[in-house]
A and B are shown apart, each in its own frame.
Chain A
Amino acid sequence: MSGETENVGQQFGRLPATAADREVEGRVSREAVLGFFANRFGIDPAVFEGFSFWEKGKGKIWIFAADAPSPIRVEGLGMTVLRTRQEHWKPTQSAIQRFGGHASKNVIEIGGEAAAAFARGEDQELDWDGDWGYLIAARDVGGEREPIGVGLYVYGELRSTVPKGNQESLPPLAAE
C-alpha cells in the first residue's frame, strides 16, 4: 500500500488495475485506458501487455515499458500517452505515432497537401463519414499505414492537434 490517497502533481502514481482497486480519488484505471484504445481505435489490449500506466498531474497519463515503485518522484517515466481530464479523452501525438499502427477504426487516411497542412498544425475541411471526435490521421507508406498524428474531427473539419514543437513545413506527400 502506498498510502497515497490524492493526486500529487510532482510524482507519478501507477494506475489501479480496475476502478475497484482505486486508492487515489478520480484516478482512471488501467482497464479504462485499455478500454478507451480498444473501443475508440480498435487497438487490441494485448498491444499494451508488459507496459505500466501512470498519472502525473491530474489526468496526464504516461506509459512505461517496465514497472517502478508507486508513487515515484522523477521528472519523466516513459512517454505521455493520454489526457483524461476532459470528457473526451485525447491520445497524445507520441502515443499515436508509436501505437496507432495497431488501430482498425477511426483512422482517416490523408495524403498530398492535406497531409502537409496537417503536419503544419492547420485545420482543414475534409469529408469523413464516421464518428466525430479524435481520429488518427494516417498516410500510406509503401502499402503500409503509418500514423501521422491526432486530429479532432468536428463540423466537417479535421483539426490538427500536432504540438507546436513538432509542427513542420513539409512538402506535400507524393503519391505512392
Chain B
Amino acid sequence: MNPLERYAPLVDDEAAFFAACERPLPSVVRVNTIKTAPERARRALEHEGIEYEPVGWHDQLLRLPEATPGTNWPYFHGWLHGQEEVSAVPALVLDPQPGERIWDSCAAPGSKTTQLSAIMDDRGVVVGNDNNLGRLSSLRHNAERLGVTNLVVTNQDGRNFSFNPFEFDEFDRAIVDAPCSCEGTVRKNPTTLEEWTLEHVHSVAAVQKGILSRAVQATKPGGTVVYSTCTFAPEENEAVVDHVLETEDCEVVGFDCPLDSVSGITEWEDDSYDSSVKQTHRIYPHLNDTGGFYCAKLEVGG
C-alpha cells in the first residue's frame, strides 16, 4: 500500500494531491545575497541565455525549467544555490537578525543554514550543528562556496547539545529542520516511500522530540524556535510540537505562511493535540506545486 494513502482524509483534493506527488519537482535556485543582488543574478542568467521564471512570493527564488542548476556561471560564482522552494520557508519564518546568535540543530547539507547567514547579512553567529560527520563536509563545502563567514560548525547530538565550546549559553533563535521520514520529498526521491515503515516514523519522532526540546531549552526567554519537516506524518509534526508544549516552557505562535497552506491538525487516529497546533502550517505538494512540508513557530516562555 502507498503510505501516502494515510493522508487522503486530510487533504482537500485527493486526486490533485496524488497527481502532484507523481510529478517531478521543478528545479529552483536561491540567490545568495552574500555575494550578489537578485537583480544582478537575473541579468547574468539572461546574458547567458538561461531561462528562468521568478517565484512570485520571493524575489530571491528562481525556477530554472530547462537548466541543471549547477552548470552556469552565476552558480560558479556562488551567486546561486539549488534549494527547493518550500524549504526556503522556515528560515524566513525564523527571521534571524544581523548580529544575533542562531542555532541550526540539523544543519547539513546547509541550504537553510546558508540562507540564515544571508538573511543576517553574514553578521552575528549561526551555529550549524549536525550529528552526522559525513554530512558535515557537504555543509562546509556549501558554506565555502557561498562565501559564508558567520557559521560555526559543530558535530554534536542535537538532543543534548552542549554550549561547552562557547562563551555564551543561550541562543536568540533556533531552527530544528528535523531528520524525518521525508514523505514530502517523494517528487525528488521516489524511492522514499519504498523504505517507509511506521516503526521508522515512531523512532524518528522520538529523536525529533529530543532535538526540539533541547532547542527550546537553549533559546532565551522570548526567543523564537522554528520546527520544520518535509513529511506529512502527524506523528512527526503536530505530535512533536504537542509534546514540547507539555514538557517545555513555550507556546505556539501564528505566522503568515508565504505559500498556500492548511492548518495543523488536532486529531489523528487515537491521539488529540493541543488546539494551538492549528496555528502551525501544512503545505501539500498540490497547493503550490512544491514538495510537502510542515512548519511550526514557537515562542520560548520564561
- A: which residues have CB within 8 A of B? 50-51, 63-66, 68-69, 72-80, 92-94, 97-98, 119, 141-142, 146, 148, 165-166, 168-171, 173-174, 176
Contact = CB atoms under 8 A, between A and B. Distances in A.
A148 B77 contact: yes
A79 B144 contact: yes
A170 B73 contact: yes
Contact of A142 (B43, B48, B152): B43
B92 to A, nearest CB: 21
Interface string B60-97: 00000000001111011110000000000000000000
Contacts of A74: 152-154, 165
A173 B165 contact: no
Closest 8 CB pairs of A and B: A76-B153, A65-B150, A98-B147, A75-B153, A94-B144, A65-B149, A78-B149, A79-B149
A78 to B, nearest CB: 4
B72 A68 contact: no
Interface of B: 34-35, 40, 43-44, 47-48, 70-73, 75-78, 122-125, 128, 136, 139-141, 143-145, 147-155, 165-167
Most chain A C-beta atoms within 10 Å of own C-beta, residue among B44, B150, B165:
B165
Contact of B151 (A69, A76, A97, A168): A76
A66 B120 CA distance: 12
A73 B123 CA distance: 21
23 contacts: A64-B152, A65-B150, A66-B124, A66-B150, A74-B165, A75-B136, A75-B153, A76-B136, A77-B152, A77-B153, A78-B151, A79-B144, A79-B151, A93-B144, A94-B147, A97-B78, A97-B147, A142-B40, A146-B77, A170-B72, A170-B76, A174-B47, A174-B48
Nearest to A141: B44
B78 A68 contact: no
A80 B145 CA distance: 11
A72 B166 CA distance: 8
B152 A141 contact: no
Contact of A176 (B47, B75, B78, B124): B47
